[in-house]
């Protein structure tokens, strides 16, 4: 697994660092290309489904070749300490090791949101759903129960095509 793979996965999924660090193989559905994050791991306390783009699946396929266990609770991106996830510091230190100082991993979520709003026709609600943000007043939230998964799948494929990750 390349050192950049967890960061690439974070960028391609517009996920939070903690969500990627804690991601396990049991959360990944390769057949449907969905990453399902349990409510207890989400900031808003609600389950979140992430449609996985072609490159996100490629990263996971490469990581799967290095799996040391078939345990569903095994981390996608384990630390060198057996049974432990990458540390938050691994993400924070990566830009510095690359000689980059002008960004932090969480900033890619903001970049994703700016791209959605300024460069695409995707509706605001779909972009916010991709970021697992709660939108609308309590009445709208009560009636809007879907997660726009297929619309978000289209958006994440477009994001994948837009991002130039090598």
Return all residues near 37 (Cβ < 8 A) that are at least 6 apart: 15, 19, 23, 27, 47, 48, 49, 50
Angle at 137 between CA 132 and CA 139, to 5 degrees: 110
- How does pLDDT run across 11-58, given as a tens digit for each residue? 999 999 999 999 999 999 999 999 999 999 999 899 999 999 999 999
Identify whether 82 is a catalytic site residue.
no
Catalytic residue among 46, 92, 106, 144: 106
Catalytic residue among 49, 109, 151, 152: 109
Catalytic residue among 46, 92, 133, 144: 133
Identify whether 48 is a catalytic site residue.
no
- How does pLDDT run across 130-158, given as a tens digit for each residue? 999 876 656 565 556 667 899 999 999 99
Identify whether 133 is a catalytic site residue.
yes
pTM for this one?
0.89
Asked whether the beta carbons of 48 and 31 are under 8 A apart, the reply is no
What are the chain's domains? 5-162 (1.10.443.10)
Could you tell me the sign of the dihedral formed by the alpha carbons of 82, 61, 55, 19, in that order? negative
């Amino acid at each position: 697994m390349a050192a950049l793979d967890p960061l690439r996965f974070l960028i391609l999924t517009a996920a939070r660092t903690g969500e990627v660090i804690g991601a396990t193989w049991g959360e990944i559905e390769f057949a449907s290309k969905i990453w399902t994050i349990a409510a207890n791991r989400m900031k808003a306390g609600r389950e979140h489904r992430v449609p996985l783009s072609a490159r996100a699946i490629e990263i996971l396929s490469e990581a799967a070749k290095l799996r040391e266990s078939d345990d569903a609770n095994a981390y996608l991106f384990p630390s060198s300490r057996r049974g432990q996830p990458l540390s938050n510091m691994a993400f924070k230190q990566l830009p510095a090791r690359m000689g980059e100082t002008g960004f932090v991993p969480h900033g890619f979520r903001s970049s994703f949101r700016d791209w959605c709003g300024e460069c695409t026709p995707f509706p605001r609600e779909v972009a916010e759903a991709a970021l697992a943000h709660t939108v609308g007043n309590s009445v709208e939230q009560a009636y809007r129960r879907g997660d726009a998964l297929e619309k978000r799948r289209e958006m994440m494929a477009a994001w994948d095509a837009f991002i130039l990750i090598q």
